[in-house]
Amino acid sequence: MGLAQYAVVPIRDQWGVLHDGNVNGEYATKESAFESAAAAASLAIRQGHEVHLSVPGRELGESALGT
């Protein structure tokens, strides 16, 4: 099987999930984008893929709520 890569990325003042070169969804928080990516990653694991999932750390000035 192949490699499935998911990355939580900032989109303007929201968050999205980068997969296969496309950014999917617009989420209000980093955590909600992560939950979406984790669900997709879980399916990829079931299909036998190696999975990489990345989420950036909190940056200076970013609230603990992920916004």
pLDDT digits (tens, 9 = 90+) for 23-32: 999 999 999 9
What order of strands is seen across the sheet that includes strand 50-54? 22-27, 14-19, 3-11, 50-54
pLDDT at res. 58: 85
Residue 5 falls within a domain, yes or no?
yes
Residue 62 falls within a domain, yes or no?
no
Flag residues of the chain having pLDDT under 50.
none
pLDDT at res. 1: 80
Neighbouring-strand partners of residue 43: none
State the residue range of the domain holding 18.
Answer: 1-31+45-57
Please give the angle made by the CA atoms of 28, 30 and 31, to the nearest 5 degrees: 100
